[in-house]
Structure 1
């Protein structure tokens, strides 16, 4: 599944540069994750880097974008051209 950033986000700006797919950007009030670009770091790392680095634990799975590991790997390959 893709991830999402909740309204508990404190806009600390550590997640955006940590995302290898550039799926995180500034939203109107908090950072947002583009589900079309989020692979939960599959293909890049063993765990989502935004989740690892977030100081307030505000990045859960997005229940509206359920994906399997295989789906995430396919998305990674599409995004990176690998």
Structure 2
């Protein structure tokens, strides 16, 4: 799976041009793009991560280009869901809210059962 440069995120800093070990990054009509025939994802080089992505100051300029429809669909879905739910906090907030509501209901029932016994 080759990488591609999101032109809307690219700030034309040209860092990707200098760090690519296979010279796959090209500039055509002022737009940066990665030649998928030359891109190796830096596999087989001394680098452990793709250098275009590692060197990109925007962190979103270079992204993996899906090799098939469903891989691309799920990548988009996961990206959008992560933005919508702020995934890091979503389940923690859900658990806190649920446990608080459950605790309140439990206290109500306990106070009702204590009040009916008297």
Question: Shorter-chain TM-score: which interval?
Answer: 0.7 to 0.9
Shift, 1:28, TM fit: 1.8
Matches within 5 A, 1:1-82: 1-7=1-7, 8-44=9-45, 45-57=47-59, 58-63=61-66, 65=67
> What is residue 78 of structure 1 aligned with on the other side?
none
C-alpha separation in 1, matches of 2:55 and 2:39: 16
Contact 1:10 1:30 in 2 (8 A): no
**Coordinate RMSD, CA, aligned:** 1.2
Secondary structure of 2:52's aligned partner: helix
Identify the structure with the greater strand proportion. 2
C-alpha separation in 2, matches of 1:42 and 1:54: 18
C-alpha separation in 2, matches of 1:3 and 1:52: 12
Q: Which has the larger radius of gyration?
A: 2
Identify the structure with the greater helix proportion. 2
C-alpha separation in 1, matches of 2:29 and 2:56: 19
The number of residue pairs the alignment matches comes to 65
* Higher RCO structure (Cα 8 Å, ≥6 apart): 1
C-alpha separation in 2, matches of 1:47 and 1:12: 20
Contact 1:3 1:61 in 2 (8 A): yes
In structure 2, list runs of 5 or more residues that go unmatched: 69-118
Deviant stretches of 4+, over 2 Å: none
